[in-house]
A and B are shown apart, each in its own frame.
Chain A
Amino acid sequence: MSVGFWEILALLLLVGTGLAVVRLQNAVHAALALIANFLVVAGVYVALEARFVAMIQIIVYAGAIVVLFLFVIMLLSAASANVGQDLLPRLPWVAGLGAAGLAAVLVYALTRFQPPANAPALGGGLPQALGPLLYDPEKWLYALLVVGFLLLVATVAAVVLIEPERIISATSHPAHPRQDQKPTPPMTEQKDGKAVVKR
């Protein structure tokens, strides 16, 4: 693979937006930098003959996951990265050294990879090529079913995590649901009041 202008530009954009994600002090800006990083990665996927994965990357990663992050950051008013006290003032230097060492080891290991001489073409990585692999019982069909079930379990877990008291009390005391539910509405009202006061 030749290294031209666009490869260098994409590499610089990837590293720059990655550094912005880990260094920016405003969480909203960091999440927006993460979206930029994912979009550049999607462009790289297109260049690497993985067009379907590039579309999924834009739709699911940049479109759904990071927007969920942005919702939570704004819902909790947790945009500032400087919370609490700095317990380890020298941690950035140590972490930087560790990350540089990790990068050196990874680059050394990955550049020793010898690709096969005549690799077959991928057909652009279009759904026509990926579908038969995904739904082949001897390849990935059962993994696909397990991942679908995992998504269902994660959805149920997210719902239970948000309202644990209400759901657990409703299932364990079906006769007196009112008694245990009463303390929860004032709490949420207080939260709403605080949020309004902050704004």
Chain B
Amino acid sequence: MIWLIASALLFSIGAYGALTRRTAILMFLSIELMLNAAALSLISFSRLSGSLDAQVVVLFIIAIAAAEVAVGLGLIVAIFRRRETTSVDELRQLRG
């Protein structure tokens, strides 16, 4: 049960980082923290209820996180080549 609480705390810390960080890379790091907290809660539920399905789901989460990091860091590098910045505050040309 303590690991469920730990995953809740980690998720909140990641949400705080995603809200307060100003560069895209560090926001992305915080989102990874949140993903990992969700995986920790799944593993904890798997242990508590004695089912292995949640561990398979965690494997999928890790694979999808890898794909997400590949695309996300590609986006950040592409934006940096055009704008010479990774600050999310300066990328607001879409605002009407």
Contacts and interface: CB of A to CB of B under 8 A. Distances in A.
Interface of A: 1, 3, 7, 10-11, 14-15, 18-19, 21-23, 27, 30-31, 34, 37-38, 41, 44-45, 48-50, 52-53, 56-57, 60-61, 64-66, 68-69, 72-73, 75-76, 78, 81-87, 91-92, 95-96, 98-100, 102-103, 106-107, 110-111, 113, 115-116, 119-122, 125, 129-130, 133-134, 139-140, 143-144, 147-148, 150-151, 153-155, 157-159, 161-162, 164, 187, 191
A161 B81 CA distance: 11
A143 B60 contact: yes
Interface string B10-37: 1111111101111101101110110010
A150 B41 CA distance: 24
A50 to B, nearest CB: 5
Given A53-B55, A111-B5, A151-B67, A119 B48 contact: yes
B89 A85 contact: yes
Contacts of B50: 116, 119-122
Nearest to A100: B12
A48 B46 contact: yes
A98 B15 contact: yes
Contacts of A61: 36, 62, 65
Contacts of A162: 74, 77-78
Contacts of B12: 99-100, 102-103, 106
By CB atoms of chain B within 10 A, which of A23, A50, A65 has the most?
A: A50
Contacts of A91: 19-20
A61 B59 CA distance: 11
Contact of A11 (B2, B17, B22, B49): B2
Contact of A150 (B6, B67, B81): B67
B69 A65 contact: yes
B77 A72 contact: yes
Contacts of A56: 59, 62
By CB atoms of chain B within 10 A, which of A18, A52, A159 has the most?
A: A18
B80 to A, nearest CB: 5
Given A84-B89, A139-B56, A154-B70, 20 more contacts: A1-B1, A15-B10, A30-B26, A37-B10, A48-B3, A50-B58, A56-B62, A75-B77, A87-B89, A95-B16, A98-B16, A110-B7, A116-B49, A119-B50, A122-B52, A125-B46, A134-B56, A140-B56, A154-B66, A157-B71
Contacts of B53: 133, 139-140
